[in-house]
Amino acid sequence: MRFQEAKRIEKLPPYLFARIEKLIEEKKAQGVDVISLGIGDPDTPTPQHIIKRAQEELENPANHQYPSSAGMLSYRQAVADWYDRRFGVQLDPESEVVSLIGSKEGIAHIAWCYVDPGDVVLVPDPGYPVYGQGTILAGGEPYYLPLKAENGFLPDLSAVPEDIARRAKMLFINYPNNPTGAIATKEFFAGVVDFARKHEILVCHDAAYSEIAFDGYRPPSFLETPGAKEVGIEFHSVSKTYNMTGWRIGWAVGNSGAVQALGRLKTNIDSGVFQAVQHAAITALSGPQDNVKELCEMYRERRDLVVDTLNNLGWNLVKPKATFYIWVPVPPGYTSTSFAEEVLDKTGVVITPGIGYGQEGEGYFRISLTIPKERLAEAMSRMKENLGPFFEK
């Protein structure tokens, strides 16, 4: 029996990487040692002191029962304290913090709180696919905001047509940015607050990479912006900061109405995060932070290796100040897919075609730095030896 799928499922965009995955399988079958630079998932383990705390909490029967959907107050307090220490942002743990099963879960669900069928959501392109997909699943219509190199990969809000702005209920932004590695200025955030106030739009800022930054740069929280709490919420998690992507715990903070609406929705869908995991996250946020520094230093070294290699091949890339991604224009004469296929064919290295992040991602590819240094070095030396020349001297 094959059941008729709901329209909201049919409307989800088709999977774009089927062809390249087939090519990867072919290469592997030929005995090629394929190196993937495609996946954005930390390769080093969760710090020991966090694991230890979870192990202890596993033994406590109090943690074996249903957690509260919003998260333990001690967890929400730890998030609020971290925001105060890190950003100077004050949050009320009871009304302005809610736990999430990873920030992806909240990003996907927030549209259910504010979007009725026919409503518009402003979504960055290229961008994390969940912003658009969550909108579609709630019956809304994504309106894509192009992120252009000439604007520093920040959306031009003044270019949003008046009728679209009027229909828009939410705006997603994400800085430091996946996939472009771009960062936001405080002026940009201030402009977002003005725009959101004027059009009564809920701003949803995804701050997943706020702690992965280099060269002395400290990314701000959107909530540092004057007036931000009136118009916005921020999604974040321990995933990228503490190598905890598999643990599934995050939070939404900011505007109390929006935080509580999301919490209310979630009590009807899930039963929160395993308390042993909440305890581990408390330890991550309030314990020693040396690991974060070491992590950034490790990614910085990898970033330098990749950017220097590509620049030697003729690119003219500026080193990104944050995230573990390098966003690179494809050479003349290629599409993002044809270039990824050529790189795979000639070197056995997998890069992600930019089209996977939206129409505006066409013309780019993404390299992820979440792969051990020796493997990354091997990938770079293969590229150096087997690719190009792509650019005229």
- Residues lying near ligand PLP in the complex (CB under 6 A) are found at 40, 102-104, 128, 174, 178, 206, 208, 237, 239-240, 245, 250
Please report where in the chains the tokens 């995804």 appear, as a residue.
206
Residue 247 CB, nearest approach to ligand PLP (Å): 9
Q: By C-beta, is 180 or 275 nearer to ligand PLP?
A: 180
Residue 84 CB, nearest approach to ligand PLP (Å): 21
Residue 368 CB, nearest approach to ligand PLP (Å): 10
Q: By C-beta, is 102 or 263 nearer to ligand PLP?
A: 102
End-to-end Cα separation, the chain, in angstroms: 60
Cα distance between residue 107 and residue 72, in whole Å: 21
Q: Which residue is nearest to ligand PLP (CB)?
A: 102
Q: By C-beta, is 106 or 348 nearer to ligand PLP?
A: 106
Q: By C-beta, is 178 or 309 nearer to ligand PLP?
A: 178
Q: By C-beta, is 69 or 174 nearer to ligand PLP?
A: 174
Using CB atoms within 10 A of its CB, is residue 81 exposed (0-12), middle (13-18) or buried (19+)? middle
Cα distance between residue 68 and residue 49, in whole Å: 25
Q: By C-beta, is 367 or 387 nearer to ligand PLP?
A: 367
Give the CB-side neighbour count of residue 371, counting CA atoms within 13 A: 23
Residue 153 CB, nearest approach to ligand PLP (Å): 13
Instruction: Tell me how far the alpha carbon of residue 308 is from its chain's centroid.
Output: 25
Residue 181 CB, nearest approach to ligand PLP (Å): 11
Residue 123 CB, nearest approach to ligand PLP (Å): 12
